[in-house]
Each structure stands twice: as structure tokens, then as C-alpha cells.
């Protein structure tokens, strides 16, 4: 199970740029789907639930992502990665500093978000796109 949104950016340095944005649920049930989608990924926006009660699940998902990237020979320190701290509008959320401490050891760009209103979503996506394009320029 995943959602797909194709996005055409037009020409960049003479190349037609097209992104295929996938969303994949974090539950264990969807692990194989995440692996399949990750195989072709040029960037990941890791969306963490900011609620304190979800910290352990976030850590498990983050560890799984790191392990899968390693298995695919994708260097986590050189792979376009953005962290999104979602559900910032809810009660009993963790401070961003705690989320950064546990989930952002590489100090990649991160954004606070409220997905239901769109807050922080475009900023996260823009950073992911820019990071991907910068990496492609180096290859």
C-alpha cells in the first residue's frame, strides 16, 4: 500500500526532471512495501509523529530506514534526507530538540509540520527536491 503523486519540474540543466512522490505507512505491516519503494528512491522525507507516545515507534522506523539504506548501499551521510516533525498542532508533543536528539543524528534539514493544514509540508518537499538536484549535480 502506498500513494503516488507524479510531479513534473520541467527542464533543469537541459534535463527533463520528474519526481514520483510516494507515501508509505510506517506500520510494521507495510515493511515490504517500504523496502520496494525505497529501492528506487533518490530522496527520503522521514515523517515522524511528534506525539510523546509515538517516540519509540518513530525510533524503530528510523532504525529500519537506516538499515534498509545500508543494505541498498545508499550512504546515509550522502543520501538526500529530510526530517519532518508532524502533528505539531496536537497536545503532548515532544520538543523539537528531543526529536532531533533521537531521530536526526546526521543533522539533516528538518521542518515542523501540521500535515492536515499543509504547514511545513511544501517546505519539506522543496528541501528534498533541492537536496536531490544538488546530489545529482555531483554525480
- Is pLDDT at 79 greater than 80 in this prediction? yes
pLDDT for 21 equals 84
pLDDT for 121 equals 95
Alpha helices in the chain (DSSP H): 31-39, 55-71, 96-103, 121-138
Structural domains in the chain? Answer: 3-138 (3.40.50.300)
| pTM of the model as a whole | 0.88
Which tens digits make up the pLDDT trace of 19-74? 888 878 776 667 888 888 888 899 999 999 999 999 999 999 999 999 999 999 99
What percent of the chain lies above the pLDDT cut of 90? 60
pLDDT for 50 equals 99
Mean pLDDT of the chain: 89
Average of per-residue pLDDT across 132-138:
84
Cell 526529536 maps to which residue?
Answer: 99
- Is pLDDT at 2 greater than 60 in this prediction? no
- Is pLDDT at 1 greater than 50 in this prediction? no
SS3 state of residue 58: helix
- Is pLDDT at 4 greater than 80 in this prediction? no
Alpha-carbon torsion, ordered 51, 54, 55, 60, to 10 deg: -150
- Is pLDDT at 113 greater than 90 in this prediction? yes
- Rounded distance between C-alpha atoms, residue 40 and residue 9, angstroms: 19
What would you report as the CA-atom Rg of the chain, rounded to the nearest whole angstrom? 15
- Residue 42, CB half-sphere, CA atoms under 13 Å: how many? 18
- Is pLDDT at 122 greater than 50 in this prediction? yes
pLDDT for 84 equals 98
Amino acid at each position: 500500500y502506498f500513494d503516488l503523486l507524479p510531479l513534473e519540474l520541467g527542464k533543469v540543466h537541459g534535463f527533463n526532471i520528474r519526481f514520483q512522490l510516494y507515501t508509505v505507512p510506517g506500520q510494521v505491516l507495510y515493511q515490504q512495501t517500504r523496502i520496494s519503494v525505497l529501492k528506487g528512491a533518490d530522496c527520503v522525507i522521514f515523517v515522524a509523529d511528534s506525539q510523546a507516545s509515538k517516540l519509540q515507534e518513530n525510533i524503530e522506523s528510523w532504525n529500519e530506514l537506516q538499515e534498509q539504506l545500508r543494505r541498498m548501499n545508499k550512504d546515509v551521510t550522502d543520501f538526500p534526507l529530510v526530517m519532518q516533525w508532524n502533528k505539531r498542532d496536537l497536545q503532548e508533543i515532544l520538543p523539537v530538540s528531543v526529536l532531533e536528539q533521537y531521530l536526526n543524528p546526521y543533522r539533516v534539514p528538518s521542518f515542523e509540520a501540521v500535515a492536515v493544514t499543509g504547514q511545513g509540508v511544501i517546505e519539506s518537499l522543496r528541501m528534498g527536491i533541492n537536496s536531490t538536484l544538488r546530489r545529482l549535480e555531483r554525480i
